[in-house]
Structure 1
């Protein structure tokens, strides 16, 4: 093989490798890196998890037990929050949740100022599908209807089934 043929082969090989290696870059290579967390967290602390938050797993023991035609299925657990679906005959009828308001102080303030009470705790109804109470001046306990058959009185009854005294001592 002549020098000119070898040179052409090397140039062709080099170009092919450049195209191959350049083509291996994923689309994410063109995306700029995300900004530091302190730039994307709202100034009021919403969305940020406080270092004082109780682990979500600590809340599970305070949820009402499954009974009769109702089944409780835990769906989410993270620092400062735990959630479970409430099912009746296999259908989702409500969501049950406990959250640490150190992460969302505005939620605690809204409940603190409420004149409504459920089991002695400040309570509030939001729209036609959500009822919540403030326990121990820190924990928001919430029941959200997922079925039109699950009424405000159902939500209040299920709020009363949480271990509210135990939660208040947490």
Structure 2
């Protein structure tokens, strides 16, 4: 009986850590690698590393119009919305294939530091890879756009980043 309770306690702690880690904001993890695959040539739109404007973050609902539109069997299902953040599940034929999000870094300028050393660009914006499952770009020196998936390749994630309305997002104040 004592052994069973120890196993149950260990499983509970493991589950708690897994859930806490999975729910953490995408900006919390440092980039695991700077190795990148070639990206198709695009006209740069935001090549400066200007400081992030301080101030009040944008309401999360204002981000929804910048997410990729539903196309074919792909659909964005909004999952979370709060001040400075919006997140959706990207589904293909009803199955989750990725988590996509936009974060306002206005109150977290240190989160943008990882983009300052980036030599990679996606759609003209500074890009980083976080581990093997997450691709992100910094738009307008303020908004982090992220695609996280265990099934999509890096190229697929970068293609989905380009499906956001990035030029519209860059204009958001």
Q: Same fold (TM over 0.5)?
A: yes
Aligned to 2:138, the other structure's residue is in SS state strand
Q: Tell me the equivalent position of 1:7.
A: none
Q: Tell me the equivalent position of 1:152.
A: 154
C-alpha distance in 2 between matches for 1:65 and 1:156: 16
Deviation at 1:51, TM superposition (A): 5.7
C-alpha distance in 1 between matches for 2:116 and 2:100: 20
Q: Which contiguous aligned blocks of 4+ residues in structure 1 show a shift greater than 3 angstroms?
A: none
Q: Tell me the equivalent position of 2:103.
A: 99
- Is 1:164 matched with 2:139? no
- Structure 1 segments unaligned to the other structure (5+ residues): 1-45
Q: Tell me the equivalent position of 2:80.
A: 76
Alignment partner for residue 119 of structure 2, among 108, 115, 119?
Answer: 115
C-alpha distance in 2 between matches for 1:141 and 1:166: 13
Greater relative contact order (Cα < 8 A, sep 6+):
2
Aligned to 2:101, the other structure's residue is in SS state strand
Contact 1:112–1:134 at 8 Å: present in 2 too? no
RMSD over aligned CA atoms reads 1.5
- Structure 2 segments unaligned to the other structure (5+ residues): 1-27, 29-53
Deviation at 1:108, TM superposition (A): 1.1
Deviation at 1:82, TM superposition (A): 0.3
C-alpha distance in 1 between matches for 2:146 and 2:128: 10
Q: Tell me the equivalent position of 2:144.
A: 140
C-alpha distance in 2 between matches for 1:160 and 1:141: 10
Cα 1:163/1:58, change in 2 over 3 Å = same
Deviation at 1:109, TM superposition (A): 1.4
Q: Tell me the equivalent position of 2:45.
A: none
Higher relative helix content: 1
Query: Aligned pairs, how many?
Result: 120
C-alpha distance in 1 between matches for 2:120 and 2:81: 29
